[in-house]
A = this chain, B = another copy of it.
């Protein structure tokens, strides 16, 4: 395996449950000899991908990673605008919101907007969900054709919970509903006690797609609240879409 992939694997270790690494952590997580782990971490630090915490022997991502991440948002007007729209809804409702993307067959949050309610869903950005087994994922899958979805899950699916679709055919049924209503609702599917509503938007110019998503404690919102969130999400998505459409027109 090239050192680049090892480096990427190291970066992948950092997530919700792991914020720093030692040489031995790396040995265990990647299953490589510790001589390599030692050199790998040092090389990554020298390159700026990692930094040592104070004068300890523990490592965490470096500032270089931070700068690049900031640049990411700017590089995509789709993500940028989607983040603004979600931030607005998050502030208005007090619930936590995300902007997410499809990465192969998984969903990854790209920006998060923590809610303000005292009982709120804690932001767990970095956690990956299966595309077929999450509301956000199905919002994004609904942009594809049934054939494309079948091709994507050619190896079959493993439903992450009893509440998720149990077969490709069930997934497609749910997708049909998403296409009809424009929104994807998920009731306590990925996280117990948490409902989520997602709407997908595609940038007509680049083909890139993201989902706007609001999550809330199921106990906290009435049917009416849900309707309100749905309207705000659809309006937000429409605004994003309009802004991107305008841009496309302007360029021609």
Contacts and interface: CB of A to CB of B under 8 A. Distances in A.
A53 B194 CA distance: 32
A44 to B, nearest CB: 7
A36 interface: no
A84 to B, nearest CB: 13
A227 interface: no
Q: How many copies does the complex hold?
A: 2
- Secondary structure dominating the interface of A: mixed
Contacts of A2: 3, 43
A136 to B, nearest CB: 14
A65 B54 contact: no
A18 interface: yes
Contacts of A167: none
A252 B76 CA distance: 46
Nearest to A64: B11
A19 interface: yes
Interface in A142-201: none
Contact of A61 (B15, B46, B68): B68
Interface in A37-76: 43-44, 46-49, 53-56, 60-72, 74-76
Contact count band on A:
35 or more
Contacts of A64: 8, 11-12
B71 A205 contact: no
A219 interface: no
A67 B108 contact: yes
A126 interface: yes
Given A61-B68, A125-B67, A206 B4 contact: no
A2 B8 CA distance: 15
Contacts of A203: 54
A60 B48 contact: no
Contact of A4 (B3, B125, B207): B3
A7 interface: yes
A52 to B, nearest CB: 9
Contact of A67 (B3, B14, B20): B14
16 contacts: A8-B47, A8-B48, A11-B68, A12-B67, A53-B206, A53-B208, A54-B205, A61-B68, A61-B72, A62-B72, A65-B69, A66-B69, A66-B72, A66-B108, A68-B69, A70-B125
